[in-house]
Amino acid sequence: MAKFVGKSKLNAAVFISGRGSNLRSLINYSKKKLSPIKIVLVVSSNKEAQGLNYAKMNNIKNIVVIYKNIPKAEKKLLDTLVKYKIQLICLAGFMKILSKKFLLKFKGQILNIHPSLLPNYKGLHTHKRVIENKEKFTGCTVHLVNSCLDSGKIILQKKIKILRKDNENSLTKKVLKLEHQLYPKAIVKFLSNR
């Protein structure tokens, strides 16, 4: 962490599609003196996303990008990212796939958080599948984004034990709490190793 003291913070954008609890935790973290990032932009693929309220409450520039026409949507996205001099993109519940062309422009600069111990349980409904398979452990992962779903280099993971009384709902809550702790730590680790 000491590495960032006195250095200016990196401009970060957070991409969301819904609830935005990871966005909220990243905003809170980014306000800390020792945080290496400043969130200057929030992008939502959904105009009804609850998470947009956190951006508004914190006076963070926010845009809604409708993915009806993908090239058009990504053009708007890229123009805005350039305008706000974005150096790091954090996906947090963003439900759209970014094109290879887009990924190339931000190669090695896009992180995602996923609610499982990758490489296990890529994709959706992780907690349901984990319970169905009677797994003993689960957790969450922050990884670099590449063109294969939930498959980029793993930055950091956090593991918890699944209790007999756990169900999809209780796991969702427990893992989400872990995610809020993991994402800031993973960002620090990622930036320290660059």
Residues recognised as catalytic: 114
Q: Which of residues 45-74 bind ligand GRF (CB under 6 A)?
A: 51
Chain centroid to CA 161:
23
Of 28-36, 52-60, 82-90, 107-115, which segment contacts ligand GRF by CB under 6 A? 107-115
Minimum Å gap between C-beta 51 and ligand GRF is 6
Q: Given the complex with ligand GRF, which of 4 and 67 has the nearer CB atom?
A: 67
Q: Which of residues 136-165 bind ligand GRF (CB under 6 A)?
A: none
Q: Which of residues 16-35 bind ligand GRF (CB under 6 A)?
A: 16, 18-22
- How far apart, in whole angstroms, are the C-alpha atoms of residue 104 and residue 89? 13
Chain centroid to CA 116:
13
Q: Given the complex with ligand GRF, which of 18 and 36 has the nearer CB atom?
A: 18
Angle between helices 21-30 and 168-192 (to 10 degrees): 30
- How far apart, in whole angstroms, are the C-alpha atoms of residue 83 and residue 13? 12
Q: DSSP letters along 133-191, please?
A: TT-SEEEEEEEE--SSTT-SPEEEEEEEEPPTT--HHHHHHHHHHHHHHHHHHHHHHHH
Q: Which of residues 162-191 bind ligand GRF (CB under 6 A)?
A: 176, 179
Chain centroid to CA 16:
8
Helix/strand/coil for 6: coil
> What does the radius of gyration of the chain's CA atoms come to, in whole angstroms?
16
Q: Which of residues 76-95 bind ligand GRF (CB under 6 A)?
A: 92-93
Minimum Å gap between C-beta 42 and ligand GRF is 12
126 burial via Cβ count (<10 Å: 0-12, 13-18, 19+) = buried
Minimum Å gap between C-beta 55 and ligand GRF is 12
Q: Given the complex with ligand GRF, which of 4 and 106 has the nearer CB atom?
A: 106
Minimum Å gap between C-beta 158 and ligand GRF is 12
Minimum Å gap between C-beta 157 and ligand GRF is 12
Interface contacts to ligand GRF, rule CB under 6 A: 16, 18-22, 51, 92-93, 113-115, 176, 179
